[in-house]
Amino acid sequence: METVVSGIRSTGNLHLGNYFGAMKNFIKMQQEYNCYFFIADYHSLTTHPNPQNLHLHVKNVLVEYLAAGIDPEKSTIYVQSDLPEIAELYLLLNMNAYLGELERCTSFKDKIRNNSENINAGLLTYPVLMAADIIIHKATKVPVGKDQEQHLEMARTFANRFNRMYDTEYFPEPHAFNFGTQLVKIPGLDGNGKMGKSEGENNAVFLADSPDQIRKKVMKAVTDAGPTEPNQVKPAIIQNLFDIMKAVSPTSNYQHFDELYNNQQIRYGDFKKQLAEDIIVFTSPIREKILEIGANTDYLKKVAKNGADKARESASKTIKEVREIIGFKSF
Ligand code: TYM
């Protein structure tokens, strides 16, 4: 059975982008694959959270993973920092990761541009840590959004380079995966590119948002003066809202507003109202579970402990074999 590894950084609550990029098919995935779902808390240290925030965010992601349908009886769910084996594999892979290729990575270049006061080595080697996360369980499939495509390419590079270097076929090639369909990019509500946790408070709809918060955010989304001719190409700020509707709403709602747009009869107020209600219908069952699971500390403790034990079994086997391949021997 093929192995799936999926990770989400613990930097806040999860939003619709995370859901459609990585989590949508959790239930199906865990029936067909050997699945590892983890909370990337080492990765979140690049932005220097304080200890309370770090713990709170790890808890949020754990709760929201479970609320989205992960069954800890079927899958392995764990916190990255509970596996020191990942840090060891990261160190080993770093020896064969070159400065030039790391500097060329788009996400690193974006960070330099937007975050010039904190360009740390963790950001530079982020793709190496991500590769370690994936290949520590010898995964071949990695459910991610479009923004992670290049990181997956780098994970393949590091896995293949290790194999070549030691003349082995130890690590299989990991590939980005969205259950047979294209990788997705869910846009933000503010018209500025993708939905993200750190793109401003009105950009993202979180799975834990209340119906009122959702209505407020969606009604604030920027629109324009309306189409000026029939069947015109939609400008990005409008297309973004249609893209979100396509993800969350019944097809008939999407088609209805698409037709109104094409006939120049659309009223953005009605369109956004419908979009907000459709998001609420979509997120409400998840939100209810978030509230229920979040209050059950004993259950969360048990899930994290069992997950760490199961994940360490697989990770320590890999590390033992990798050490042998590299030539570490005890006297
Ligand atoms: P993070 O926390 O930024 O994102 C988690 C997942 O959500 C997807 N995603 C989106 N997909 C579509 N549209 C969006 N607007 C959107 N925003 C986020 C991301 O593609 C991702 O799948 N580096 C990873 C975390 C990670 C990881 C791993 C993932 C660390 N190690 C190993 C897989 C395997 C990240 O940026 O997460």
Do residues 80 and 228 both lie within one domain?
no
Q: What is the pLDDT of residue 190?
A: 86
Mean pLDDT, range 212-226, rounded to an integer: 96
What value does the mean pLDDT of the chain take?
96
- What range does the domain containing 279 cover? 197-291
pLDDT band of 126, cuts 50, 70, 90:
very high
Res. 192: pLDDT tops 80: no
278 and 234 in one domain?
Answer: yes
Q: How confident is the model at residue 82, as a pLDDT?
A: 98
In a domain, 191, yes or no: no
Ligand 1 within 6 A of CB of 40: yes
> Could you give the CA distance from residue 302 to residue 281 in angstroms, rounded to a whole number?
31
**Any atom of ligand 1 within 6 Å of the Cβ of 62:** no
Same domain for 179 and 43: yes
pLDDT of residue 223: 94
pLDDT reading at 179 higher than 90:
no
pLDDT single digits (tens) 42-81: 999 999 999 999 999 999 999 999 999 999 999 999 999 9
Same domain, 10 and 39: yes
Q: Is the pLDDT of residue 321 over 80?
A: yes
| Same domain, residue pair 162 and 49 | yes
Q: Is residue 201 part of a domain?
A: yes
Residue 293's pLDDT band (cuts 50, 70, 90): very high
* pLDDT per residue as tens digits for the range 5-23: 999 999 989 999 999 999 9
Q: Is 272 a catalytic residue?
A: no
Q: What is the pLDDT of residues 134-178, one digit of tens each?
A: 999 999 999 999 999 999 999 999 999 999 999 999 999 999 999
Q: Has residue 190 been placed in a domain?
A: no
Please check whether residues 22 and 147 belong to one and the same domain.
yes
CA distance 29 to 26: 5
Average confidence (pLDDT) over 237-246: 95
Q: Is the CB of 6 under 6 A from ligand 1?
A: yes
Please give the pLDDT value at position 330.
Answer: 86
Q: Is 243 among the domain residues? A: yes
Residue with CA nearest ligand 1 atom 16: 17
Q: How many residues does the chain have?
A: 331
* CATH number for the domain that contains residue 152: 3.40.50.620
| Same-domain pairing of 152 and 251 | no
C-alpha–C-alpha distance, residues 299 and 305, integer Å:
10
Question: How many C-beta atoms lie closer than 10 Å to residue 10's C-beta?
Answer: 27
Q: Ligand 1 centre and the CA of 270: distance in Å?
A: 32
What is d(CA 51, CA 45) in angstroms, rounded to the nearest whole number?
10
**Closest to 135 in 3D by CA, of 155, 161, 150:** 155
- DSSP 3-state of 328: coil
* Ligand 1 in reach of 185 Cβ (< 6 A): yes
Q: Is the pTM of this model over 0.85?
A: yes
Model confidence pLDDT, tens digit, residues 97-114: 999 999 999 999 999 998
Which of the residues 111, 141, 217, 272 is marked catalytic?
Answer: 111
Whether 114 and 138 map to the same domain: the answer is yes
Residue 192 within a domain: no
Number of domains within the chain: 2
Q: Is the pLDDT of residue 198 over 80?
A: no
Whether 201 has a pLDDT exceeding 80, the answer reads no
The CATH number that applies at residue 254 is 1.10.240.10
Beta-carbon contacts of residue 330 (< 8 Å; ≥ 6 apart):
none
Kindly list the distances between the CA atom of residue 178 and the CA atoms of 28, 30, 88, 149, 209, in Å, as whole numbers in the listed order.
Answer: 11, 13, 29, 11, 25
